[in-house]
Structure formats: C-alpha cells, structure tokens
Structure 1
Amino acid sequence: MLSFLHSADWQIGKPYARVEDPDKRAKLRQVRIEAIDRIGQCARDQQAAFLLVAGDLFDSPTPSSSDISAVCQALGRLSCPVLVIPGNHDHGAPGSVWHQRFFQEECQRRAPNLQVLLNREPLVLEQAIVLPCPLLRRTDSQDPTAWVRSIDWEALPSDRPRILLAHGSIHGFGSEDLDADGDNLASSQNQLRLDDGLMGQLDYVALGDWHGLKQVHARGWYSGTPEPDRFPRHDAYRDGVVLAVHVERGVPPQVSPLPTAALQWHTTAVHLSGDDELEHFEATLQTLLGDEPGGHLLLLEESGSLSLEGHRRYDALLERLEAQLLRLKRRGRCAQAPDPSELRALSQRPSDPLIANVAQRLQSELGDSALVEERRELLQLALAELHRCAGT
C-alpha cells in the first residue's frame, strides 16, 4: 500500500497586514516556514513516498527572494520528493515565481527533490499516477479538472493508484462559502466538478483552497493549512494538520490528520454584567492561554457593560493582553455604565464645580430616552474620561 502526505495552502509570505506590530508580523510569517520542518518529520515518521502540495505554497505569484530561498532550503531537508501545483495565490502565469530564474536556480541548488507540475498531463510514477490540475491564472472560468475527462484510462498502468491534485472549490462547498472572513478574502471562481464518473476513475483527490480540514467525498479531502491563519468560526473547524494517506488501486483510502501547528488561534465570547465578573473572566483567559500567551491569537467577542472603574480595569487587562498575544482582535463592545456612587462622586464636587457641572450635563443628556445609540456611546466615553481625569 502506498503511503504519502497531502498538504496545501502554506501561503509563505502572507503579510498579516491586520497585525500592527512588525515584530509579531515577522514571527507569524516565520512560523509558516518552520511548519515545513514539522511536515518533514511527519514524512519521516510515515515513511512517505512523496508529499503533495495542492496549491498556494506561496501567498503571491511573486514572493520575495528571501522567502524563495527559505522555502527551498526547508524543502531540501525533506526526505522525500515534493510535488507542487500552483494555486490561485501563486498561479502559474508567465512571469510568476515558477518561471523566474532565481526560483529555478534556488530549487536546483537547495531543493532538487521539488517538482512543480505546470502541465495538465498525467505524471506516471513508480508508485502512483498523479493527475495535476495547476491554476495557470489567478481565476479560471473553466474547470481546472476538465482535461482529466479526456484521458484514455486504458492507456495508463492499471496497478497504480490514481491521484487527482487540484486547487479550487467544489459545488456546494468551497472557500467562497465558508472560508472567508474580514482578514481573508475568498475567490469566486476555480470551480472543480468532481462528478461520479470522474470519481469512479480515481483513488484519491488531494484538494487545496479551503484552509480547514474537510472530507468532501469518500476519496476526496481538503487538507487545510499546516499552520493556522484565521480564527475558527465554530468548534468543528480544524486546521494545522497534514494528511497521511494510505492508498492502493481500487481500495478506499485511509486518511489520518497529523498535527503540525505551532500557534493557537482562539475565538471566545465574554458577556460582562458586573464588575465582580472580571476576576472570573481573567481566570478564564489564564486557563485558555496558559503562562505563555506569546504563542496565541485571540478573537474576543465582547458584550455587556461595566461601571467606569470596572471598565478601567477591563481596559488595563486588554492592554496587557494586546502586548502579550501575537494578536488580539476585538469584536462587539462592552459598554460603560457608571454606577450611582460614581455619578455622585462626579456631580457632587463643591471643590470642583467645573467637573461637577460637566458631569451633571452629561448625566442629563444620557437620561434622554430618545437618544441615538452613537450619541449615547459618545457621552458614556466622555463620562469615563471625566472619571479618569478627576481621579475618582
């Protein structure tokens, strides 16, 4: 039985433009390169005959020279051949990385085990037949797998498993439906038609484009990205793996996800309805992030309200988190609702009539039931700033 690895969507060189700290952006980019060594360890453990990369090895068709060198050096350390097709991010159009002299020289020098499949034609190996469906432009209105339907199957060796290698979305499921978010835009083309007639000729379909692990057919899988690059939308979402595939001709494949991720991406919700809940929230974060939050990214979905003093403590906690985490992304809002004692401390200040007067005017306007929400939020922020300046 043939054993190989299936991966995709490495997107080396991904800019992480929403991460403001340049040092953190650099770490996120470096971790994606380091994932290649973890894949290499999986290849050795599984005694893989080869590694298939189903598109988007690079994030751009024109990656930097340093990224090209780093990738070739890492791939050259792998103990097996690496077969790659271009995806929509690193498509194979003229002028793209695959045609550049620098890449070709680095590949020859550092990664002679790397083979880029730019032609839509069967690759007959000793152990298998690979049917590559490279993307030769970013978006293709034609099905990249269409050429496979014209194959004379009888002319191919009958004793070797047939593996389709493709990048795109299948009908009813794909990146444009489920995989896009505010940080990652989706492609609306590159549709793959994996009908029963085609699937009946194949033993395994290695797919890329969807960044989460997903089985779409008894013989078809998206491997997901080996290093996560987005916040999970639901508990069932899984990425940060490479697939170990065991297959032989005419037999359903055996597929096992192997972990490769170094970083952890979390989505958590917090609803705060009182200052006394802050300690519990902090303990929850400690359990989630542990003692080394520098390897974590957090999407925090906020709601509820706190007193002015409680919100000050909450902001200080989030400021610490933002410094410690690789990224803190906030969604929603925890409102500021001054409690009666805070309002009295601001509005009843004989020694500070200016502050008292401003506080009373803000309170009066906040009491208007017809106040629009944006104005209410602005007034609450003004009260919080007044509370800070007064040192109450």
Structure 2
Amino acid sequence: MNSVRFVHTADWQLGMRRHVLGERHSSFDDARLASIRAVVAAAENEAAEFILVTGDVFDENSVAPVYVIRALDALGKTSVPVYLLPGNHDLFGPGSVYSSETFVRHASENVHVITDSSPVEVREGVHIVGLPVVSKNPAPADLEQLVSEFPLPVGEGIRILALHGGTDFVFSGTEPGGADFAVAELDALVSEGKVDYVGLGDRHSVTPLGSTGRVWYPGAPEVTAFDDKETDSGKALLVELEPGSGTVEPFVTGSWSMLRIDAPVDSAEDIEALRARLEELPDKDRTVVKLTLVGTLTLELAAELDEMVAYFADLFVAAYVRRDSHVARRPDLDDIPRLFSGYASSAATDLTEISLAGGDNAGTAENALALLYRLSRKAGSK
C-alpha cells in the first residue's frame, strides 16, 4: 500500500474553564467530549488508519481525573490507533497527565503517547516523527535533525511530521517574535520531499500554511473562544497521502458557537433591532453571546435593555455585555420631575448634570442614576 488516510486533530483542551458559563459549564464539557466522539466516528466512517492529535489534548497537566477517564473511554471504544502528542498545555515532563495513574490505568491498547522523537511506525512504510513539548521553555526545533529520524530513505514510504507551537506566519504564543517554527522551512521540507505532511497544533482555527497544501493546523474540534479571535474552529481534518502528494479536507466536529455582537443602542428602535438579531440566532442552547454596546439611553430604555439582556442570558448558554461597552444612562432634564420626586428628583438632576459634563465622574454618575431609577421603581410598586 502506497497511500494512507488518517484524521488530524488537535487542541481538545479538555478541562478548559470558561467562567462566563457559570453553572452551565457542564454543557461545555459535554460538547467537548461529543466533538471527540465525532472525530472517532469520522475516522471509522472514512476508514482512516489512525488519528493524530498534535498537542493540548488536556488543558493542563493537573486536569481533574474525570476528563481523563471520559476521554480515554471515548478513545477506547474504537479500534483505530490514536497517537497523542503532548503540547504546551499538557507537556511531557514531571507531573505529566500522561504519566498519571489515571491515564496509565485507563488508556486502552490503541492509545499511544509520542514521548520523544523516535519514529513511530503506524504500519510498514508509514511513519510519524513528533516533537513533544517537554518544557515550558523548549530549545529551538532542529527540523533537519527531526527529519533525519525517519527510518526509510526519502521517496520511500510516507513521512508525517507532528509538531505543536506557533509559526512566524500564524503566531499563537504570548510574545511577539517567539514563534516556534518558520513556515518557509516547513514548506521546504514538504516541497523537497523530505516530509509528506506537517501536522501542527496550537492554533484553534483551521489554517493551511505555505504553498504545498500539506502543512496544516486542524484547529480545535469544538470552539474555545469567541469568533472575533477564533474564526474557523469546531473541525478536524481528513488527510489522504501518497508519497509526494496528498489531499486535506476539513470536516465538522463541533456544534457550539461563541459570538461577539457589536451594536449601537441609542433608541427604542436600536433595542428592538438587537432583540430581533438575537432572536434569529439558531441553537441558542449551544451558543454564547458577548455584546459590545455603545450609545446613550434614557433610564427607561436602559432598564428595558437590561431586562432584555437578562432574558437572553437565560435563553442562551450565556449572554452578557462586555465591560468595554459604554451605554450612557441618563434622563432628559425635563423628564426628571416625571420619573422622580422629592430628594430623589434633586439627586437625579445633579447626577444628570455630572453625566452631561463628561469627565472622569460621568460613568459613576450614570451608574448612580441607574440605581436611583431602579430603587424608585421598586418603591413605586409597593
């Protein structure tokens, strides 16, 4: 056989915490596990010979045992071999999750951890050479040395290079200029026939790199961040290779959406337009929304906006207004006698004037006006 078909995935991030989800976090965990089952199902349906996971299977080495057990249970239900490359979140070092009693006890025979750069023979003529992350400050990768680890001469058999980290074209680390790999170098390895495929991990959006069509990030199989940062996640890759050529097809594995919505809110019409936009979104029980709102509203309309956001926070998995939103909340001066009476009316006038003047105290005055309005409404309802 001179061809091979496999599934490439990465960045499962099992155990990842999203505090915005609060008590609904369990549904996020369930979705991540469902995406792994989707990866396994695709591998079986497409007759893939193996699954390659290029790093960050777990969000940290101290991940709770429940995530390890559930992941290994999902992987143990298939006979397809699974190769796990430790990434920067689950690096292979002291205290590694891959050395834990839980992992060792529950890993089935088809699950293999790539702990060094020795070639892994998938079958005769097909080899993986990986570079597991073993330190928080790893030495620069020597790609030529890695390539020299393949046991068969160039042109004989299929060579798959498994890496985890950022590149100089798509950087996903923490410091500018700290990329782990140069795209030109990876591309050259493929174009020169030294490697048939480079499977990367660390970027959570599906991303092809270079000119050969065989250097890829598969992205995360389920969303991990909002769509202003993560543009094409919830997928994995079906890869088919022959020596010197190959095809890569992304396929859907996830079901969640995390959306950023920016909207003006200066009138009742703006609020209704935002309401309609949120109502139209499908799969609300699998959607998280963060709102960036800018505008100036009367206290009555601001209260209506707050009620609407609270309603959608219950309807969606989560919905909230970002802290860098700015919605000025103040009445027209002429409306104050209608909204307030007595000392509250005098206070509302003073606070409105501070808000209108702008400056450092404007936001505090607007928050105080909103509180004063809510208290007045409660008092009036008694």
Fold conserved (TM > 0.5)? yes
Give the structure 2 partner of residue 179 of structure 1: none
1:302 aligns with 2:293: yes
Distance 1:175 1:260 in 2: 22
How many pairs align? 367
Query: Are residues 330 and 78 of structure 1, via their aligned partners in 2, closer, same or farther at CA, if it must alter by over 3 Å?
Result: farther
| 3-state SS in 2 of match to 1:167 | coil
Contact conserved, 2:55 with 2:90, CA < 8 A, in 1? yes
Give the structure 2 partner of residue 171 of structure 1: 168
1:242 aligns with 2:236: yes
Query: Are residues 152 and 309 of structure 1, via their aligned partners in 2, closer, same or farther at CA, if it must alter by over 3 Å?
Result: closer
| 3-state SS in 2 of match to 1:389 | helix
Structure 1 unaligned spans of 5+: 177-184
Distance 1:258 1:287 in 2: 25
Q: Deviations over 1:256-285 (max 9, x none)?
A: 111011211112111112123222211110
Q: Deviations over 1:132-161 (max 9, x none)?
A: 1111123313216453144477x4474422
Contact conserved, 1:7 with 1:224, CA < 8 A, in 2? yes
Distance 1:340 1:361 in 2: 10
Give the structure 2 partner of residue 222 of structure 1: 217
What is the Cα deviation at residue 339 of structure 1?
A: 3.3
Distance 1:9 1:364 in 2: 52
Query: Are residues 186 and 283 of structure 1, via their aligned partners in 2, closer, same or farther at CA, if it must alter by over 3 Å?
Result: farther
| 3-state SS in 2 of match to 1:355 | helix
| 3-state SS in 2 of match to 1:14 | coil
Quick one: which amino acid aligns to residue 233 of structure 2? Answer: D
| 3-state SS in 1 of match to 2:163 | strand
Distance 2:350 2:201 in 1: 59
| 3-state SS in 2 of match to 1:212 | coil
What is the Cα deviation at residue 354 of structure 1?
A: 1.8
Contact conserved, 2:209 with 2:215, CA < 8 A, in 1? yes
1:3 aligns with 2:5: yes
Q: Deviations over 1:172-200 (max 9, x none)?
A: 32213xxxxxxxx7898571245154332
Distance 2:176 2:80 in 1: 32
Give the structure 2 partner of residue 382 of structure 1: 368
Contact conserved, 1:35 with 1:226, CA < 8 A, in 2? yes
| 3-state SS in 1 of match to 2:70 | helix
Give the structure 2 partner of residue 133 of structure 1: 131
Give the structure 2 partner of residue 321 of structure 1: 312
Give the structure 2 partner of residue 265 of structure 1: 258
1:51 aligns with 2:47: no
Query: Are residues 14 and 188 of structure 1, via their aligned partners in 2, closer, same or farther at CA, if it must alter by over 3 Å?
Result: farther
Query: Are residues 187 and 34 of structure 1, via their aligned partners in 2, closer, same or farther at CA, if it must alter by over 3 Å?
Result: farther
Structure 2 unaligned spans of 5+: none
1:91 aligns with 2:54: no
What is the Cα deviation at residue 112 of structure 1?
A: 1.5
What is the Cα deviation at residue 346 of structure 1?
A: 3.9
Query: Are residues 357 and 382 of structure 1, via their aligned partners in 2, closer, same or farther at CA, if it must alter by over 3 Å?
Result: same
Query: Are residues 341 and 144 of structure 1, via their aligned partners in 2, closer, same or farther at CA, if it must alter by over 3 Å?
Result: farther
Q: Deviations over 1:4-25 (max 9, x none)?
A: 1000000111122x2262x312
Residue in structure 2 matching 1:192, options 165, 178, 181: 181
What is the Cα deviation at residue 315 of structure 1?
A: 0.3
What is the Cα deviation at residue 341 of structure 1?
A: 5.0
Quick one: which amino acid aligns to residue 202 of structure 2? Answer: D
Give the structure 2 partner of residue 39 of structure 1: 39
Distance 1:78 1:271 in 2: 50
Deviates more, 1:41-50 or 1:92-101: 92-101
1:336 aligns with 2:334: no
Quick one: which amino acid aligns to residue 231 of structure 2? Answer: Y
Query: Are residues 126 and 89 of structure 1, via their aligned partners in 2, closer, same or farther at CA, if it must alter by over 3 Å?
Result: same
What is the Cα deviation at residue 356 of structure 1?
A: 2.5
Distance 2:328 2:144 in 1: 55
Give the structure 2 partner of residue 277 of structure 1: 270
Distance 1:364 1:56 in 2: 54
Query: Are residues 190 and 122 of structure 1, via their aligned partners in 2, closer, same or farther at CA, if it must alter by over 3 Å?
Result: farther
Give the structure 2 partner of residue 255 of structure 1: 248
Distance 1:165 1:366 in 2: 57
Distance 1:388 1:98 in 2: 54
Q: Deviations over 1:312-349 (max 9, x none)?
A: 000011112222322324321222132355324146xx
Quick one: which amino acid aligns to residue 191 of structure 1? Answer: D
- The correspondence of residues 11-26 of structure 1 with structure 2, limited to 5 A, is 11-16=13-18, 18-19=19-20, 21=22, 23-26=23-26
